[in-house]
Structure 1
């Protein structure tokens, strides 16, 4: 058989001008196996079980604290929006951390939301609507009511 059939040609992928290396498949496999043995022995660090469990507990505590901080930040955001009094429901404005640090950004976000959705504006009833406590509710004059209707 031909020498070319027994050889494998390996080309560096960087450029076409690079040199072509002729090697036998057995040599390539031996070099690859030798390279993996070196890396396997250096990356096999082991730690005691107690140490790993301690790290996992510590990490779980950090995750819990971060989750609680996120919940508190969302509650603070809702209360800051409620304090503005511009929205009927303060949870209508989506949470954004930038609103916590900059009151002007919060006000601008509320104004932009109200420009897009004016039906979210806070509605307050004012004046006499004929129900509930009135100024004359404390003293009822039945004779005056009868005279007024006559």
Structure 2
């Protein structure tokens, strides 16, 4: 039986410079992202779209969501399968294609996790479990582009 989980976030535009959106160049793309009982995230658009490079943009957040979802599933499956992970870092990359009309879409994301396990005998299983994590990741299953992964597994 399926179970629903509901989420709520509040986005508030903070970039009104006094004249609203009267001109494309007269407003900032800054905003806050709020979720109850969690720290506020300061957001903007990508600098390519007149955004603040010091703030998170939606593209950063999408890539981060895919990476963290994969990691959390991966760590779960490792714990179930007896693979002891002692460190995990992912340098995820994404490609967004901007169309001539200004719209765009991600064409792919590649996760590049570097995982450290406690014993050499765990390396093959540790690599294999990335496929299972990809199959279970809620975010990866919700996007319409491929989420690839190129893992590196090390022994501590």
| Superposition TM-score, scaled by structure 1 size | 0.28
Q: Considering fraction of residues, name the structure with more strand.
A: 2
**Structure with the greater relative contact order (CA < 8 A, sep ≥ 6): 1 or 2?**
2
Q: Considering fraction of residues, name the structure with more helix.
A: 1
| Superposition TM-score, scaled by structure 2 size | 0.27
